[in-house]
Chains A and B, each alone.
Chain A
Amino acid sequence: KNQVEQSPQSLIILEGKNCTLQCNYTVSPFSNLRWYKQDTGRGPVSLTIMTFSENTKSNGRYTATLDADTKQSSLHITASQLSDSASYICVVSGESGGSYIPTFGRGTSLIVHP
C-alpha cells in the first residue's frame, strides 16, 4: 500500500530560525513529489514539485530535497517568518494503470513564534 509519512507531526520555532521537515514514502512506481503549504481553513498551495531526476528545488526561502533511492524528501525553511505558520504537506504521486494518483501525508504543523 502506498504511504507517505511526515515528521515531526508538529514543530514550534522562533522567528528567524531555520527548520527542516521530513517526508518518507513507499509510493511505487514514483512519478513526482510535491510540497504544499496549507494555512488554517484554506486550500493547500504548491511550494515545489520534483520528479525522479531532480534532487533539489528552491522556491524563495523554501528548499526541497529528494533522495529517490532512500525514498526520502525534506523541506528546509530558511529565516522563518510568522507567516510561515501553517501545515506543510508532502504529496507523492505514483502511476497505476495509466493514472497518476497522489498520496498525501498527514502534514507537519509549524508554528513560528515572535
Chain B
Amino acid sequence: DGGITQSPKYLFRKEGQNVTLSCEQNLNHDAMYWYRQDPGQGLRLIYYSQIVNDFQKGDIAEGYSVSREKKESFPLTVTSAQKNPTAFYLCASSIGGYTEAFFGQGTRLTVV
C-alpha cells in the first residue's frame, strides 16, 4: 500500500536527550514536511524539503534538525535545545509544494 508512515506513534524521552522521529513515504513524492501541533493551535511548519539533499527552515526550526539523504525518508531530530518539545508531530509529503499533501498519522512526543 502506498502511503506515508511515521514511527513511533508515542515517544517518551527525558529532558535533555535528543530524539529522532521517523518519516517514510513510498508515494514517490519530491516534497516532504514536518509540522508541530499543540492543543488549540494550527499546524506550524518546522522544516520542509523539496528535493533530496536540500531542506529549508520553516517558522519554528530552532531546536530541530532534519536530513534528506533519500527521497523516501525525512527524519526529524528534536534536540535538547528545543525548549518545549512535548507536542504532536506530523510529517507530510506532496508531489510538489502546490499540490495536495498527504499526512502521516503523527508521533506524540512527551518529554519528562
Contact = CB atoms under 8 A, between A and B. Distances in A.
B90 A43 contact: yes
Nearest to A109: B40
Contact of A44 (B50, B97, B103): B103
Nearest to A44: B103
A31 B41 contact: no
A50 to B, nearest CB: 11
B109 to A, nearest CB: 13
Interface in B3-24: 6
A32 B98 contact: yes
B104 A43 contact: yes
A106 B42 contact: yes
Interface string B17-58: 000000000000000000100001111110010100000101
Contact of A101 (B42, B45, B92): B45
Nearest to A106: B42
A38 B56 CA distance: 26
Nearest to B103: A43
Interface residues of A, number: 23
B97 A93 contact: yes
A46 B6 CA distance: 18
A2 B48 CA distance: 17
B106 interface: yes
B5 to A, nearest CB: 11
Nearest to B4: A43
A42 B106 contact: yes
A107 B50 contact: no
Interface string B95-112: 011111111111010000
A99 B50 contact: yes
B56 A99 contact: yes
B104 A95 contact: no
For A101, A105, A106, A107, the residue with the greatest tally of chain B CB atoms inside 10 Å of its CB is A101
Given A43-B92, A100-B98, 16 more contacts: A34-B100, A36-B103, A41-B88, A43-B90, A43-B103, A43-B105, A46-B101, A46-B102, A49-B99, A89-B43, A99-B50, A101-B48, A102-B97, A104-B43, A106-B40, A106-B41
